[in-house]
Amino acid sequence: MSEANITFVQSMYAAFSRGDIETIIRACAPDVEWKSGGRKEDFPAFGVRKGGAEVRDFFRTVAEHLEFSEFSPQEFYADRDKVFVLGRILRL
C-alpha cells in the first residue's frame, strides 16, 4: 500500500506542476478537509478549508500571492496511510 500511496501523491504533485488543479480537486473526497499550517493573518492561504470549492480557493490564493522559480518534490516516504515529501521551493 505504501508504494501505491507514494505513486498517488507523486501524480498530484505532477498535476500541480502542470497547473492542473482540477485533477487534484477530483482526487479529493467530497468532504475533504484541507489544512495548511499557520495563521491566516500571516498568509491568506493558511487555515482549514472544507470541500472542493474551498480547496480550489486555496490554490487560487496561493497563485495570487506567490510566484515560484522552482517547485520540485525530491523524496517521498510513506508510513501507513501518510506520505511525507521533501523538496525544494524557491520563490521569485
Tens digit of each residue's pLDDT (9 = 90 or more) over 38-82:
998 999 999 999 999 999 999 999 999 998 888 899 999 999 889
Beta bridge partners of 89: 71
- Res 5: pLDDT: 93
Q: Which residues lie below 8 Å from residue 57, measured CB to CB, with a gap of 6+? A: 49
The answer as to CATH 3.10.450.50 being correct for domain 2-67 is yes
Residue 7 or 92, more confident: 7
- Res 22: pLDDT: 97
Tens digit of each residue's pLDDT (9 = 90 or more) over 18-44:
999 999 999 999 999 999 989 989 999
Domain residue extents for the chain: 2-67
